[in-house]
Chains A and B, each alone.
Chain A
Amino acid sequence: MKEVAKSIIKKDALGLLLGKPVYTDDLAPKNALIVKVLRSPHAFAKIKAIDISEAEKINGIECILTYKDIPRVPVTRAGQGYPEPSPHDWYILDEYVRYVGDEIAIVAGNNENVVNEALKKIKVDYEVLEPVLDFEKAEEHPSIIHPEKETHPMFEIGFNASKNIAASYEMEIGNVEEELQKCDVVIKERFYTQAQSHVAFEPHSATSYIDMHGRLIIISSTQVPFHVRRIIAEAFKIPIKNIRVIKPRLGGGFGGKQAIHGEPFVAAVTLKTGKPAKIVYTRQEVFEATYTRHPMRFDVTLGATKDGKLKVIDIQGLSDTGAYGEHALTTFMVAGSKTLPLYNKVDAVRFKGKVVYTNRVPGGAFRGYGAIQANFALESAMDILAKKLNMDPVILRKKNMINEGETSPIFKIMGEGREGVDMIVRSCKLKECIEEGMNLIDWKNKFPRIKISDTKVRGVGMAIAMQGSGIANIDMASAILKLNDDGSFNLLIGATDLGTGSDTILAQIAAEVLNTPTENIIVYSSDTDLTPFDTGAYASSTTYVSGHAVRLAAEKMKKMIIKEGAKKLGVDEKSVDFDGEFIYEINNAKKVTLKELATVLYYTENQKQLVADASFVGEESPPPYMAGFAEVEIDTETGKVKLINYVGVVDCGTTINPNLAKVQIEGGIVQGIGMALFEDVKYTYNGKLLTNNLMHYKIPSRMDIGNVQVKFVESYEPSGPFGAKSVGEIGIDTPPAAIANAIYNAIGVRITSLPITPEKVLKALKSSK
Chain B
Amino acid sequence: MKINLIVNGEKKIFEIEPSDILLDVLRKNGYYSVRRGCDTGMCGICTVLLDGKPVPSCSVYAARVDGHEITTLEGIKEAKELATLLAEEGADQCGYCSPGLIVNTIYLKNKNIKSMEEAKVKLIGNLCRCTGYESQHRAIEKFLGVKK
**Which residues does A use to contact B, with CB under 8 Å?**
7, 9-10, 12-21, 23, 25-26, 112-113, 198-203, 249-252, 254, 280, 282-284, 498-501, 657, 659-660, 662-663, 666-671, 693-695, 699, 701-703, 705, 708, 710
Contact = CB atoms under 8 A, between A and B. Distances in A.
24 contacts: A10-B92, A13-B83, A13-B92, A16-B96, A17-B95, A18-B33, A18-B99, A19-B98, A20-B32, A23-B96, A26-B32, A112-B24, A198-B129, A200-B129, A251-B35, A499-B92, A659-B90, A663-B132, A667-B131, A669-B132, A693-B42, A695-B42, A702-B128, A705-B133
B66 interface: no
Given A26-B32, A252-B96, A663-B132, A17 B86 contact: yes
Contacts of A666: 131-135
B39 to A, nearest CB: 5
Given A282-B39, A699-B127, A9 B32 contact: no
B10 interface: no
Contact of B129 (A26, A501, A699): A699
B101 to A, nearest CB: 9
Contact of B120 (A200, A249, A703): A703
Interface residues of B, number: 55
B88 A113 contact: no
A284 B93 contact: no
Interface in B96-148: 96-99, 102, 120-121, 123-137
A203 B36 contact: yes
B63 interface: no
Contacts of A282: 39
A282 B91 CA distance: 26
B93 A702 contact: no
Nearest to B137: A702
Contact of A252 (B17, B99, B124, B130): B130
Contact of B35 (A9, A10, A23): A23
A220 B68 CA distance: 36
A647 B127 CA distance: 22
Interface of B: 17, 19, 24, 27, 32-40, 42-43, 45, 72-74, 79-80, 83-84, 86-99, 102, 120-121, 123-137
B129 A16 contact: no
Contacts of B83: 13-14, 17-18
A19 B94 contact: no
A670 B32 contact: no
A200 B90 contact: no
B90 A660 contact: yes
Contacts of B42: 693-695
Most chain B CB atoms below 10 A, which of A16, A20, A25, A671? A16
Contacts of B95: 12-13, 15-17, 249, 251, 499
A199 B128 CA distance: 9
Contacts of B96: 16, 23, 201-202, 251-252, 499
B97 to A, nearest CB: 5
Nearest to B17: A113
B35 A694 contact: no
B94 to A, nearest CB: 3
Contacts of A671: 129, 132
A13 B135 CA distance: 14
Contacts of A200: 94, 129
A250 B94 contact: yes
A271 B37 CA distance: 29
B99 A19 contact: yes
A20 B133 CA distance: 22
Given A113-B17, A702-B120, A14 B87 contact: yes
Given A201-B45, A703-B124, A657 B90 contact: yes
A251 B93 CA distance: 9
B39 A283 contact: yes
A18 B129 contact: no
Nearest to A17: B83
Given A19-B35, A702-B124, 7 more contacts: A7-B90, A14-B87, A16-B95, A18-B99, A19-B34, A201-B127, A666-B133
Given A14-B84, A282-B39, A663-B131, A201 B102 contact: no
B136 to A, nearest CB: 8
B66 to A, nearest CB: 20
A201 B129 contact: yes
B129 A19 contact: no
A50 B121 CA distance: 50
Contacts of B102: 17
Nearest to A19: B33
A282 B95 CA distance: 19
A274 B133 CA distance: 44
Contacts of A17: 79, 83, 86-87, 92, 95, 98-99, 102
A16 B96 CA distance: 7
Given A9-B87, A17-B86, A694-B43, A251 B131 contact: no
A701 B73 CA distance: 22
A255 to B, nearest CB: 12
Contact of B93 (A21, A23, A203, A500): A500
Contacts of B136: 702
Given A113-B17, A663-B89, A702-B123, A201 B94 contact: yes
In this complex, the member of A9, A25, A669, A671 whose beta carbon has the largest number of chain B beta carbons within 10 angstroms is A9
Contact of A694 (B27, B40, B79): B40
B32 A21 contact: yes
Nearest to B140: A702
B93 A501 contact: yes
Q: Which of B79, B83, B97, B124 has the most CB of A within 10 A?
A: B83
A698 to B, nearest CB: 10
Among A10, A203, A693, A702, find the residue whose CB has the most chain B CB atoms closer than 10 A: A702
Nearest to B84: A14
Contacts of A19: 32-35, 72-74, 98-99
A713 B80 CA distance: 34
Nearest to A665: B132
Contact of B92 (A16, A25, A112, A250): A16
B132 A694 contact: no
Nearest to A657: B90
A254 B135 CA distance: 19
Contacts of A112: 24
A251 B94 contact: yes
Contacts of B37: 201, 203, 283
A202 B87 contact: no
Contact of B19 (A113, A203, A250): A113
Contacts of A10: 87, 90, 92
Contact of B87 (A13, A252, A280, A667): A13
B2 to A, nearest CB: 18
A275 to B, nearest CB: 19
Contacts of A662: 90, 135
**In the complex, the 7 A-B pairs of residues with the closest C-beta atoms, listed nearest first:** A19-B33, A16-B95, A499-B94, A251-B96, A666-B132, A670-B132, A13-B87
A694 B123 CA distance: 16
A657 B128 CA distance: 21
A140 to B, nearest CB: 38
Contact of A25 (B36, B79, B90): B36
A705 B39 contact: no
Nearest to B19: A113
A636 to B, nearest CB: 26
Contacts of B39: 282-284, 693
Contacts of B90: 7, 9-10, 501, 657, 659-660, 662-663
B54 to A, nearest CB: 15
A283 B72 CA distance: 22
Given A9-B87, A10-B87, A18-B33, A283 B92 contact: no
Contacts of B123: 702
A663 B93 CA distance: 8
A180 B132 CA distance: 42
A663 B50 CA distance: 32
A101 to B, nearest CB: 16
